Amino acid sequence: METHVNLHIVDYLIIAVTFILSLGVGFWFSRKQKDTKNYFTAKGSLPSWAIGISILATLISSVTFLAYPGEGFSSNWIRLVQGMMVPIVLVFFIGFVVPLFRRVIGLSAYEYFEKRFGVLARIYSSLAFVLTHFSKMGTVFFLISLALSKMVGVDTTTIIWVIGVVIIILTMLGGIEAVIWLDVIQGLLLIVGGIIALLIILFTPEGGPVAVWNVAMESGRIGFGPFDWDFVNLTFWVMVINGVFYAIQKYGTDQTIVQRYLTARSDKDAVKASLTGVLLSVPVWALFMFIGTALFSYYKLTGNTLPPDIRTDAVFPLFIMNHLPVGVVGIIISALIAAAVSSLDSDLNCLSAICVEDYYMRLKPKTTEKTKLFVSKLFVVLAGIGAIGVALFYVKVGGTAGVLSIVFTLYAIFSGGIAGMFLLGIFSKRANRQGLNIGIIMSVIFTAYAVLTSTPFDIGGQSTLLIDMGGLNFAHHKYMIGVYSHVVLFVFGYVGSLFFKTEQSEDEIKSLTYYGYLELKRKKRI
């Protein structure tokens, strides 16, 4: 069965409106961008509900829209476990992390690490953010363009450039305020699109939702196992542990989230926004994972056939094009585009913030506000072009299989122990700069060892390890690399600190830790 590419004029109009609306929002808010405080934090003037939906839209992307249905179609819900851990972890620490960051940092989340541990900690953590998000942005660009090229009959490279240019323009012009309000629209569009698609999938086959559920159960598509206590294979416990550290890193050290704390009117609003975002995200992740599960049952029940060589993340786009009515196709494709835009515009704005605050202002501390704003917009353009370049590289090498798996793996590798650094800074008053630097070195050495002894590279047409240590090769699942890197940094950072005298005063350290928060709370200053 072939995917048709002759969209109805109604569908094209809906898609065109999506692009026009996105650019319109960018131009509308461009009038307010007079300084970097407004450009990056909206001067702390945005309502909590809008920030919460923006966090939702940032956490989801075309990876959610395509890769999650692909996983639900081909396997069970084990990769949903990571996201399910986020609200559980968040309940325990978001209440003191938000006031701490709003009190301590100006813009960059990594300013906290410099105040706590020195310049190296700031540079290392901000560089980890840049690497992580460039790899993510390139994957998102590639995924959406690959899907859309088959759906609308335009080549992948052209779509990458069109969407990339639109995102660069709206982000460069409108700043964080345009990003957040556009995220609100796009986040709602994504949810509506997903619900419409799921309802059609559930009620089209004979027997309806009950039949869909029964087929999925009988085929082992519903569940979170295997539950073996095994870190070598992909198991429930691997995803649980991975999810815990993902939650800590995302909400404690990720600029795309931390920067949104600063756009809220108060600490209370920022906390409320964070909880809103994550509590909405888990159901949306589950929605798209279940779409894949329902699609598996749909094709079993209806007898419709799929191409034998189809990629699992292409099943949902094929269904959209072949089985949805006119107008609905346009809405779903617009939702797919919105999913990518809402994630990528946030990444561009935050990457610009990091480049300006952590690097440019260190080299040019006396820059005028006008020049700083110009440089901020320039970094948006450069970051956007860089992300487009990564996506074009994917196209050149022929794409990649198992996109969700690769995204998780890259996140694990580039996370570089940052969650361990965050935990060390927040909960240990004894940890110091010298000890932390030892922890960073050991974490880098471990990550290099784990990647090089476990990840095959294509050399001369053959897949081989760059370093083969036999029985000493890293043998656990690749998702555990990120987990262990956090633990290594925390342990070596703490133990190393015991051999050096702390340079900061006790009061200075306390103000940067959980214990300072408790003291302020007792004095009712928070």
Crossing angle of helices 156-203/119-152, nearest 10°?
70
pTM of the predicted model as reported, rounded to 2 decimal places: 0.87
Determine how β-strand 462-464 pairs with β-strand 457-459: antiparallel
390, 395, 400, 403 alpha-carbon torsion, rounded to 10°: 60
Q: Indicate the Cα dihedral angle 475, 477, 481, 484, nearest 10°.
A: -80
How far apart CA 453 and CA 469 sit, in angstroms, is 7
CATH 1.20.1730.10 range(s) for the chain read: 44-396
- The answer to whether the CB of 35 falls within 8 A of the CB of 369 is yes
What string of pLDDT tens digits covers the 526 residues of the chain? Answer: 344 456 788 988 988 888 888 888 888 988 888 888 889 998 889 999 999 998 888 887 667 777 889 899 999 999 899 989 988 888 888 888 998 999 889 899 999 999 999 999 999 999 888 887 877 787 778 878 887 887 877 888 999 999 899 999 999 999 999 989 988 888 888 888 889 999 999 999 999 999 999 999 999 999 998 999 999 999 999 999 999 998 998 888 989 999 999 999 999 999 999 999 888 889 999 999 999 999 999 999 998 888 888 888 888 888 988 888 888 888 888 888 887 888 788 889 999 999 999 999 988 888 899 999 999 999 999 999 988 988 888 787 765 544 545 554 555 565 678 999 999 999 999 999 999 999 999 998 898 898 888 877 655 566 777 788 888 999 998 889 889 999 999 999 999 999 999 888 888 998 999 988 888 778 766 5
Q: Which of 96, 42, 66, 86 is nearest to 514 (CA)?
A: 96
Smallest CA-to-CA distance from 39 within 356, 391, 291 is with: 356
Q: Which one-letter DSSP state was computed for residue 204? A: S
For residues 48 and 69, what is the distance between their CA atoms, to the nearest angstrom?
30
Q: How far is CA 152 from CA 8, 313, 490, in A?
A: 10, 17, 49
Question: Is 261:274 a contact under the CB 8 Å cutoff?
Answer: yes
Amino acid, single-letter form, for residue 412? A
Question: Taking Cα atoms as reference points, which of 166, 189, 162 lies closest to residue 178?
Answer: 166
CA-wise closest residue to 289 among 113, 142, 73: 73
Domain 44-396 has CATH 1.20.1730.10: yes
By the 8 A CB rule, do 342 and 61 touch? yes
